[in-house]
Amino acid sequence: MGIEIKICGLKTASTLEAALEAGADLVGFVHFPKSPRHLALADLPALAAQVRHRALTVALTVDADDAALAAVIAALDPDILQLHGRESPQRVAAIRAAFGRPVMKALPVARRSDLAAVPAFAAVADRLLFDAKPAPDDLLPGGNGRPFDWTLLAGLDASCPVMLSGGLDADNVAQALAVARVDGVDVSSGVEDAPGVKSPDKIRAFIAAARSAAAMKAAPPSTAFS
């Protein structure tokens, strides 16, 4: 099975179309006012209609309460809820039960000890997303354009699908996949010209690089004849 590719933080119909045409498996929309990728509720229905039956839609929120989640779901009708805040395993389980949607939980990683929480979250989430832990002065919980040590994920058995995020771009995604051996990759700042401004060319380049890397990994070894 090939990897899944998620383009996150899309804001416009044109960049969304670039992601869809290039073959993104998942497209993410951010509803978090502090983010340069934030979308108002009124912006979501048109984008959702553009995606329908072409990819999975992901709604990214940060420590949202039930009312805020209900509003996002009503506007976007997402296939997956991405929780990118400090939600506990108990909160993740409650959200999944209350809204009946698959949940992807983002976990910040800087050192091996950060992976201690994996079993608790894997037991209640449908997917896990490993992202670089924010620096103390970062304003955002993700999308800061920095990678972490991918070797921390090598050999990790999370018992559910896992994706890698944090500082990925077209130049390093092949190396990231080779090292981390995850089920998918998620990019936001790595396909932007400026914070919140996606580049169609960078989106296409990232997806092509990730697909090429996955194909090389899946290809059987060649046999040389003398």
Tens-digit pLDDT profile for residues 75-117: 999 999 999 999 999 999 999 999 999 999 999 999 999 999 9
Burial class (CB in 10 A: 0-12, 13-18, 19+), 200: middle
Q: For residue 225, what pLDDT is reported? A: 45
Q: For residue 155, what pLDDT is reported? A: 81
Low-confidence ranges of the chain (pLDDT < 50): 222-226
Q: Which CATH architecture has domain 4-218?
A: Alpha-Beta Barrel (3.20)
d(CA 177, CA 173): 6
Q: For residue 226, what pLDDT is reported? A: 37
Assign 30 to helix, strand or coil.
Answer: strand
What secondary structure letter does DSSP report for 191?
G
Alpha-helix runs per DSSP H in 65-220:
66-76, 89-99, 118-122, 173-180, 200-218
Block residue for tokens 């910040």: 108
